[in-house]
Amino acid sequence: MSTVLYIKANPKPEGASRTFKISDKFIEAYKEHNPDDTIVTLDLYKEGIAFLSAEGVRMHFVEPGEGRSDPILKYAYQFLDADKYVFAEPLWNLSIPAILKAYIDYISVANITFKYTAEGPVGLCNNKKAVNITSRGGNFSEGELVVWEMGDRYLRIILGYLGITDFTTIAADNLDAREQDAEAIIAGAITRAQAFAKSF
C-alpha cells in the first residue's frame, strides 16, 4: 500500500481551475485502481504556505530525524514519508506559482530529503515517483516556446535533486488561444491522465 501526496497550487475557487479538473480526474481514476492506498491532499493555499521566514531558514540546519513536529519541517518529513507525488499547478509567468516554490523551500531540507556529501548533494527520497499535471495558456510542449518553460522543468530537476527521477508530465497546452477548443484539450488531457493513473 502506498501513500500518495497530492500537492495542489491554485487559488481559484472550487471547480474553477482547469488544471484541477484534470488532476482531480487523475486522483479519481487512481483511487479506483488502488482502493487501499492513502491519498493525502495538500492544498497549498488552504494550508497557508508562506515564504520561508528567518526562523524557517534557521530550522533548515538539522540533524537526521530532528524536528518532526516543527511547523515548517513537518512538511519535509511528510514529503519524505510519501511514496508517490501528484503535483497540480498552472503555468504562471513561465514557471510554477510562487506558493509552490515556497513549498519546495519547505521540503528541500538537508539531512531530511537530501544530504550533502564530499561528492556533492545526494537525494534521500528514493524509489518514489511523481507526476506533474499542469495547464498553460500557450503551447509549451512543442515548438519554439519549449525552451521558455521553466515550471515543469524546474519541478523535474528539483525532484531529481531530492532523488525522485521517475517523473511524468501531463500538460494541457493552448488553453487561452482563442482559436483552440479549450474544452476538447482538457478532455484529451483527462483521458491521458486517467490512462496513466492505471500504471502510476
Ligand X SMILES: Cc1cc2nc3c(=O)[nH]c(=O)nc-3n(C[C@H](O)[C@H](O)[C@H](O)COP(=O)(O)O)c2cc1C
Strands 114-117 vs 120-123: parallel, antiparallel or unpaired? antiparallel
Q: What is the DSSP letter of 110?
A: B
Other C-beta atoms closer than 10 Å to the C-beta of 180 total 13
Could you tell me the smallest distance in angstroms from the CB atom of residue 115 to ligand X? 34
Neighbouring C-beta atoms of residue 69, cutoff 10 Å:
7
Question: What CA–CA distance (Å, rounded) separates 75 from 42?
Answer: 10
CA 10 – CA 13 distance, rounded (Å): 9
Looking at the Cβ atoms of 92 and 161, the one nearer to ligand X is 92
Tell whether residue 94 is a contact of ligand X (CB under 6 A).
yes
Question: Does residue 93 bind ligand X (CB under 6 A)?
Answer: yes
Q: Does 10 bind ligand X (CB under 6 A)?
A: yes
- How far is Cα 22 from Cα 189, in angstroms, rounded to an integer? 7
Could you tell me the smallest distance in angstroms from the CB atom of residue 174 to ligand X?
8
Question: What is the x/- site pattern for ligand X, positions 43-82, by CB under 6 A?
Answer: ----------------------------------------
Distance in Å, CB of 18 to ligand X, minimum: 4
Sole binder of ligand X in the list 6, 17, 59, 67 (CB under 6 A): 17
Q: Is 189 in the site for ligand X (CB under 6 A)?
A: no
> Does position 153 bind ligand X by CB under 6 A?
no
Closer by beta carbon to ligand X, 51 or else 61: 51
Identity at 169, one-letter amino acid code:
T
Q: All 3 cell numbers of residue 98?
A: 510562487
Q: Is 117 in the site for ligand X (CB under 6 A)?
A: no
- Residue 82: what residue type? A
Q: Give the torsion sign (CA, 152, 5, 36, 31).
A: negative
Residue from the set 44, 90, 108, 133 that interacts with ligand X by CB under 6 A: 90
Subset of 126-145 contacting ligand X (CB under 6 A): 135-138
Q: How many CB atoms are located within 10 Å of the residue 191 CB?
A: 12
- Which residues would be at the binding site for ligand X (CB under 6 A)? 10, 12, 17-19, 90-94, 135-138, 175-176
